[in-house]
Structure 1
Amino acid sequence: MHINDAEFFKKLRSTFTIEAYEHLRIISLSLIELEKMFVEENKKTIVETIHREFHSLKGASRAVSIKEIESICHTMENIFSKIKKETLELNEQMFDIFNESIDIIEDILSSHEGEIKDISVIMGNLKKIECGNLGKIDSIKTETVNLDTGINQDVNIKPKYSQEDNNIIKASKNIKNEEDVKMQNINTVKVTEGKTSEIVRVSKSKLDSLLLQGEEMAYAKLSSIKTAKEIKEIKELIDLWKKEKEYTFIEMLKNNVDALLKSAENEAKTIEMMTDTFIEDIKSIMLLPFYSIIEMFPKMVRDLSRHIGKEIEFISEGTEIEIDRRILEEMKDPLMHIIRNCIDHGIEKSSRGTINLNIVQVSSDTVKIEISDDGVGIDIEKLKEKAIINNILTQGQVNAIDDESAKMLIFKSGISTSDIITDISGRGLGLAIVYEKVQKLEGSITVRSEKAKGTTFTIILPITISTNRGIILKVEKQDFVIPTGKVEKVMRVKKDEVRIIENRATISLDGYIIPIVRLKDILEIQDKRIEESSGDIISILVVNDMENKIALSVDEIIIEQEVLVKRFNKQLKKVRNIAGATILGSGQVVPILAVQDLIKSSLKNSNKSLSIVGESEKDIIQNKRIIVVEDSITSRTLLKNILESHGYIVKTAVNGLKGWELIKSEKFDIVITDVEMPEMDGFELTSKIRNDSQTCEIPVILVTSLESREDKERGIDVGASAYIVKSDFRQNNLLETIKRLI
């Protein structure tokens, strides 16, 4: 195929861009290391590296006729030659100019074709360094000339923090055909570990295509397994038929089916092995080390900290751990947001500080990222104040929230503890973006903070997103899939284990009270032909989205298996409660449920929660009237709030006499009374209730601080139904006692 000169030069320029960013990466990291160096012997090695990289970049830029980069590199090469010979001594001001030079080269690389950068100011400053006459440094300013329009555009060059958002391997902005895209978006793949010479460059689009093919093979695997299963069922039917009728053609048919079954089973095993191996190999190719996205972070930290007048050291560990390239690309911006937050908020009260990034593989399929600073920690009270100002929480909610929950408010959009908005932070968006991105990647994020000691963000992520598993379930004779990673537990519970709390059906799991909602209500499935199940067992799946948990009640839980996920295109992305679809081995298309949407939708269906339990159990609570007799306003209010929040109708009395008057005039289903009260104590009140023919059947619960054996015996003697000591008071114990007595 003939390639003309213009096409050849375009491909050459694309290849150069990739090479140039690799040189700049090494130079940038070396400059950061050199600036911290104290040992002369080590300094010489790093200076030699920088000198060699500038020399190589100069030669490459000359080959593609980018004179601006060639000029900068030539002067930088001369400077580092003098530093090598010790005829030029490094100082802090030089490092600022060196880093500005890198930013300008990156700006040239990313500029539109047809633009020329005026580099006279940076070249003037570099010449001053080269001549040993640094003096006053000029303001860095370049003039962009568009060759197509002839219009000059002034561009002020500052440390370009947004430049870090570009990939180390960076595409030209003027790519015009698909082949250029393939050349630009590449992955570096290690063929043999430990041998850096054995490296191949693979087009990103080819890798994505290969992965897609591998995932499509999963359907063939599931289909072959399904076919083998169906043939086996046919064989079993023939065996049953044969027992009753001895016909020769049945024997022949059976032999043919036996052969077909054996062939299908072998085929299924072969396809399964090939598919699994293929996908695993592709997954390994898709893995890249963390350092491929964070190697430029030290420069970013340096530029940002100097920009705001701080000295912040960036330390990273575990960056050789590999993770799916797609997850890395998605996590680059979130990690930058957190680091910016550490710089601007965490270490805001000090001019010096340290940011640590630690990466640990915690299992075969998960990795933990910890980012910590040694700053002032999170101001919890200020965070609560901002939540009220921004209408995220009410004053009552803020009063009730504990500090651990309050810390998670930093992930809410619109919340920032900064009093002003700067170019680094203060808009209240960064950490909200982090939270959403981690959630999208099926991960989790938490924050720990201690006043005056610092803050640590912990992110748990899957190592790969190429394999998906789901639980197939049935609701109203329709099949759905829930991603396995979002399911905390699958359970079958008896209806009498369901508790009504705050007028909602709930279950208790690991110390948490979790609301139960019917999936059919959330999905708004209404099929009057289907009769409600009258069984005593409920099948539920406990699902979570990092922040909330609910238990979904379904008709049937079928199986957990590998599923091929087909995401919706842009037109269908806003379909509520549905994330995509999968194709089962039978060819059936089944919707995949979006757990985050389900949890949001469940709040709208809380009034239907009670439909899970039987009518008789709901009647236990609904419309039941309780009187609380207690002279302490605190205890009286507490008991009233607890009971009303669980659906009871409650009246109160301040002593036994007032209580007795109410009991005689109104109908109550139960009496809860203190013992030690003025005018008439609880023992006397209980005795009056028992001795009156109109009230003698009303259950009475004594809730008192008196805990001696004699007091309990006296309570029994006067006819109390239950005796609860305040020092052992448990809310659930009281509620269970009430339910049992009613």
Structure 2
Amino acid sequence: MEMNQYLEIFLEESTEHLQAINDQLLKLEDHPEDIALIVEIFRSAHTLKGMAATMGYTDIADLTHEMENVLDLLRNEKIAVTTNVIDVILQSLESLEEMVASIREGGDGKKDVSALVDLLTRLEKGNAGEEHLKPVAIDGLAQVSQYEQTVISQSKSQGFETYQISVTIDKGCVLRGVRAFMVFEALENLGDIIKTVPDGEAIENEQFESGFHVLLISKEKEEEIKQQLLKISEIEDVQIAPFETNQEDVDQSREASGIDIYENEPDTKPAPAANQAASKTIRVNIERIDQLMNLFEELIIDRGRLEDISARRKDTELNETVEKMVRVSSDLQNLILKMRMVPVEQVFNRFPRMVRGLAKDLNKEIRLDIIGAETELDRTVIDEIGDPLVHLIRNSIDHGIESPEVREQNGKKPEGNVTLRAYQSGNHVFIEIEDDGAGINREAIIKKAVEKGIIAAEQAENLTDNQVNQLIFSSGFSTAEHISDISGRGVGLDVVKNKIELLGGTISTESKPGKGTLFSIKLPLTLSILSAMLVKVEDETYAVPLSSILETVTIHKSQVMKAHGQEVIDYRDKVIPLVMLSKVLNVPPAIEKKTKKDIYSILVVKKGSQMTALAVDSFIGKREIVLKSLGDYIKNVFAISGATILGDGNIALILDTNDLIK
């Protein structure tokens, strides 16, 4: 993924977080007992660390990581807020500001922060004084950092030993990355890994020959560590020895490091240059936008009432004023809604690299196609939808896509295909994950569900395919034969379903054996104001979102035909279903009997490429309406997504046309 496009956002947000840390630190010095201030500083440091690590600025990430450790001890009251602590964190903040300023000016953001990291580590242990800290250089497994040297030294004083371990993997091993993972898992049960050669990412991607090296801190004996590693299959040899360090000339190291902030001298270094270019954007708390939206909703309701009053009074000046108010408020509405909407691309961009890694781990050939990444969703939904999509994609790759050999035996291309698709339909956004794998095995699902006690054996025969597909979302359900780091632990799809339902959405599954599986997520746009067509059905008024309407037409009763027992019409040389809303919604007959007409008023609505005609009694006209939830006591009502208050004070239900499309 290209990081340059996110550089401006990184600089903007990092500057904001650094300023927040500075402000809260100054307050903390005056109110050292205020834990809330420490929590705010911790949150900013944590966010900055994550952003820096993602962008590849390791020095910033390393320094903020150690700041986090100190702040965590402060908020848990394990160490006290002292002047010394504030000084060290402020010195760290100055270095962070220098590194961010370097990046802004086109630099690489690198800085030797080893001495700062060491001092922060000593704060964690409660033995940091004001004395000068001398950098140390180490020879051995590799050139270790100041932080790693400090950890080694402190561990030794507490009875731990540091071992240099060389692991050789059998040359015939197919999944070397998996074997390396098993070695790391075993070592983590014996102690703490502080360094690997090559680095962790290279080992994960199998970018090593026959073996790799590890620095381990442990209280276990050498022989015990060696025996545990040799128990892992396809591990050919393990060499282990104590790790020895050599201290270089201190003055030479200190000169090379370029760090002199620990001398007991007045600080004469100039402050980092301020950002000369003013930011073109500002960040606003989402709660403020929510408040703005709530106020605007009330304005829209009153605007609708003014339109009704103006239509009845037929006053020229009032009409002109209302028309101008409509134009201005419409522009304001568009601005408010756009502030909340962001493209799903921000979430989708994380998946290509993930799919590539999974395919390599599973020895599968996978192509990921992303369609509709420009589709926009509310920011609050975007923030929450990432993890469910990760679970679904991993599920498709692990359970859905077959191995290349099996695919070729079944007459398929060896390369499997996963499609991630997003599109808007009405006031909902649909996100689909589709694969061309083996599909859902009905018998295997039922067998596992009976074993887990999710269903009784006698129920199995009567379940429809859709009901069987929904069983995979049951808690603790998994068909994996072996537990791995990808699947088999019985957590995943039940979490996905719960998360999506919390967002007000639904998830459905379609599968064809041997052809593949489609997961479809329907999410609300959470746009509380939308353009709609008001229609009359008997004595009831309904609102239909304009975004789902293709066309409004009138047809003669004689144009209605029947196909397979379903009423249909010919729409632009296409036969589409006709739905009589009065019948589907069970609308009671009008109090005053109406003369039966031979003309139908039709709304042609769409969902993706599917179309359906909805028959109503009459059209009232276009309105801007405020979408209101039906509340917690009225949930999952068929074909109804909410309600709105009309200008005359009456209530109109808002139709979810996606449920009506056949």
Q: Normalised by the size of structure 2, how large is the TM-score?
A: 0.52
Q: How far 1:358 sits from its partner (Å)?
A: 7.6
State which of 588, 592, 605 in structure 1 corresponds to 2:650.
588
Give 3-state SS (helix, strand or coil) of 1:21's partner.
helix
Aligned ranges 1:94-493 → 2 under 5 Å: 124-126=192-194, 134=214, 197=279, 200-232=282-314, 261-262=316-317, 264-288=318-342, 290=344, 293=347, 323-329=377-383, 331-349=385-403, 377-379=436-438, 412-414=469-471, 419-420=479-480, 424=487, 429=493, 433=497, 465-493=527-555
- Hey, what's the Cα distance between the residues in 1 that align with 2:562 and 2:326? 47
Look up the match of 1:572: 634
Q: How far 1:578 sits from its partner (Å)?
A: 3.7
* C-alpha distance 294-16 of structure 1, shift in aligned 2 (>3 A): farther
Query: Is the aligned partner of 1:24 residue 2:78?
Result: no
Q: How far 1:368 sits from its partner (Å)?
A: 9.5
Higher mean C-alpha displacement, 302-311 vs 506-515: 302-311
Structure 1 or 2: larger helix share?
Answer: 1
- Hey, what's the Cα distance between the residues in 2 that align with 1:465 and 1:485? 12
- Hey, what's the Cα distance between the residues in 1 that align with 2:637 and 2:430? 32
- Hey, what's the Cα distance between the residues in 2 that align with 1:82 and 1:587? 78
Q: How far 1:137 sits from its partner (Å)?
A: 8.6
Give 3-state SS (helix, strand or coil) of 1:202's partner.
coil
Q: How far 1:50 sits from its partner (Å)?
A: 0.8
CA deviation string 1:144-196 (max 9, x = no partner): xxxxxxxxxxxxxxxxxxxxxxxxxxxxxxxxxxxxxxxxxxxxxxxxxx979
Give 3-state SS (helix, strand or coil) of 1:581's partner.
strand
Q: Which amino acid aligns with 1:58?
A: E
Give 3-state SS (helix, strand or coil) of 1:414's partner.
helix
Give 3-state SS (helix, strand or coil) of 2:649's partner.
coil
* C-alpha distance 76-411 of structure 1, shift in aligned 2 (>3 A): farther
Contact in 1 for aligned 2:416/2:437 (Cα 8 Å): no
- Hey, what's the Cα distance between the residues in 2 that align with 1:226 and 1:22? 52
CA deviation string 1:229-285 (max 9, x = no partner): 2232xx5xxxxxxxxxxxxxxxxxxxxxxxxx32x2343244324422332332232
Q: How far 1:20 sits from its partner (Å)?
A: 0.6
Q: How far 1:217 sits from its partner (Å)?
A: 2.0
Look up the match of 1:87: 143
Aligned ranges 1:515-530 → 2 under 5 Å: 515-527=577-589, 529-530=591-592
Contact in 1 for aligned 2:642/2:654 (Cα 8 Å): yes
Q: Normalised by the size of structure 1, how large is the TM-score?
A: 0.47
- Hey, what's the Cα distance between the residues in 1 that align with 2:398 and 2:295? 45
Q: Which amino acid aligns with 2:298?
A: E
Give 3-state SS (helix, strand or coil) of 2:569's partner.
strand
Q: Which amino acid aligns with 2:49?
A: H
Unaligned stretches of 5+ residues in structure 1: 31-45, 101-118, 140-193, 236-260, 399-408, 601-742
- Hey, what's the Cα distance between the residues in 2 that align with 1:196 and 1:338? 42
CA deviation string 1:612-635 (max 9, x = no partner): xxxxxxxxxxxxxxxxxxxxxxxx
- Hey, what's the Cα distance between the residues in 2 that align with 1:455 and 1:137? 47
Q: How far 1:415 sits from its partner (Å)?
A: 6.0
Contact in 2 for aligned 1:497/1:507 (Cα 8 Å): yes
Give identity over the alignment, percent.
Answer: 24
- Hey, what's the Cα distance between the residues in 1 that align with 2:397 and 2:518? 13
Give 3-state SS (helix, strand or coil) of 2:644's partner.
strand
Give 3-state SS (helix, strand or coil) of 2:67's partner.
helix
Contact in 1 for aligned 2:437/2:514 (Cα 8 Å): yes
Q: CA RMSD in A?
A: 6.3
Look up the match of 2:269: none
* C-alpha distance 524-503 of structure 1, shift in aligned 2 (>3 A): same
- Hey, what's the Cα distance between the residues in 1 that align with 2:531 and 2:281? 33
CA deviation string 1:656-704 (max 9, x = no partner): xxxxxxxxxxxxxxxxxxxxxxxxxxxxxxxxxxxxxxxxxxxxxxxxx
Contact in 2 for aligned 1:579/1:593 (Cα 8 Å): yes
Higher mean C-alpha displacement, 62-71 vs 551-560: 62-71
Aligned ranges 1:521-540 → 2 under 5 Å: 521-527=583-589, 529-531=591-593, 533-540=595-602
Contact in 1 for aligned 2:402/2:438 (Cα 8 Å): no
* C-alpha distance 466-524 of structure 1, shift in aligned 2 (>3 A): closer
Q: Which amino acid aligns with 2:397?
A: I
- Hey, what's the Cα distance between the residues in 2 that align with 1:432 and 1:586? 42
Contact in 2 for aligned 1:16/1:61 (Cα 8 Å): no
Give 3-state SS (helix, strand or coil) of 2:558's partner.
helix
Contact in 2 for aligned 1:337/1:434 (Cα 8 Å): no
* C-alpha distance 448-599 of structure 1, shift in aligned 2 (>3 A): closer
Contact in 2 for aligned 1:414/1:429 (Cα 8 Å): no
CA deviation string 1:409-439 (max 9, x = no partner): 7994236998537673789957994998799
Look up the match of 2:557: 495
Contact in 2 for aligned 1:443/1:462 (Cα 8 Å): no
Q: How far 1:337 sits from its partner (Å)?
A: 3.2
Give 3-state SS (helix, strand or coil) of 1:570's partner.
coil
Q: Which amino acid aligns with 1:518?
A: M
* C-alpha distance 582-9 of structure 1, shift in aligned 2 (>3 A): same
Look up the match of 2:40: 14
Contact in 1 for aligned 2:581/2:614 (Cα 8 Å): yes
Q: Which amino acid aligns with 1:205?
A: E
Larger RCO: 1 or 2 (CA < 8 Å, sep 6+): 2
